[in-house]
Amino acid sequence: MNIIFFGTPDFAVPSLERLLSHPAFNVLAVVTQPDKRRGRGSQLIPSPVKAIAQSHNLPLYQPKSVKKDEATLDYLKNTQADAFVVVAYGQILSQAILDLPRLGCVNAHGSILPRYRGAAPIQWSLYHGEAETGITTMLMDAGMDTGPMLLEARTPIALLDNFEDLAARLAHIGADLLPETLLQLDQRAIQPMTQDESQATYAPLIKKDNYWLDWSRSAIALHNQIRGFFPSCSATFRDKAIKIVATAPLSETFGIQLPSQLSAIAQAWSNPSEAAQPGEVVGILKGEGAIVQTGDGVLLLRTVQLTGKRPQSGWDFANGTRLEVGEVFGKGG
């Protein structure tokens, strides 16, 4: 089966590698986003998918707009590919492109559709505290993740999973699901299923203010925000910005889901002092870090990052700053 692969970030790499190694597929070319300038030297950095394509000497296209780039469009029209496979490409395909391949355009999306359509399904599923997510393969149409569904695979979400953990797991689930989807589609062994619009939810692009922490929210809400938008959530400490990278809600409600060394501690902290204000350090746990009061419950700061510094454990932070009970973390922003 002749395939053209559209993808850009690390999330798409396992899928491309799986198709390249599978005897049933011939990857004709790769379409990815243009190189971006990053880092202190503002150097042009290729996408992870581009790096894989180059290592396999594949024809490579990087249009700024795939809908308007004549060279890319001419290639797509003339290859007569059986399918276009799209995994986190980052551009919307026109109907003219969607209509080109024999089997259509197959997308692997990081949620159980029709929930969490859009650009950031993994982040928002964590933010909302979902217990389960997965990958859905679908035939693309002109809408935003609205096409007929093909296959799905699910995975549970653990309390301490963050975006990086979950994205890596889903990337490999998607890589497993795509070959099966393509082969069954070719054999007409799948009946595409229309999405139930009444069940649809959306996962929009992350905005800067999504990273700001408000300690008046509950411990579990803050924890979900921090792991969903990992590693970028911010607060203030001693009038300077600080990133809160990893946390754990200390409550008997979540004790069974915590590592063994934290389960008993969670039970002990289930009824903290009502006198503390949101953001206030109410305890410092030896070997772990600061315990902070929230609008409902307390939150253990497991990993933090001071401006200009590398991430450090909550315990190293507490020691290094000589943190004291009663100090207060401020809101982000």
Pick out the residues of the known binding site.
111-114
Q: Say if residues 99 and 80 touch (Cβ distance below 8 Å).
A: no
- Selection from 251, 254, 289 nearest residue 271 by Cα: 251
Distances (CA, A) of 80 to 1, 2, 84, 102, 210: 11, 8, 10, 8, 43
Q: Which residue positions form the known binding site for (6S)-5,6,7,8-tetrahydrofolate?
A: 111-114
Pairwise CA distance, residues 5 & 18, whole Å: 12
Pairwise CA distance, residues 119 & 149, whole Å: 17
Tell me the residue ranges of DSSP E strands in 70-213: 83-87, 105-109, 132-139, 149-156
Residue type, 72: T
Residue 19: count of CB within 10 angstroms of its CB: 21
Collect all residues with Cβ–Cβ distance below 8 Å to 8 and sequence separation of at least 6. 32, 33, 47, 48, 49, 88, 89, 90
Name the one residue in this structure whose structure tokens are 């609008």: 295
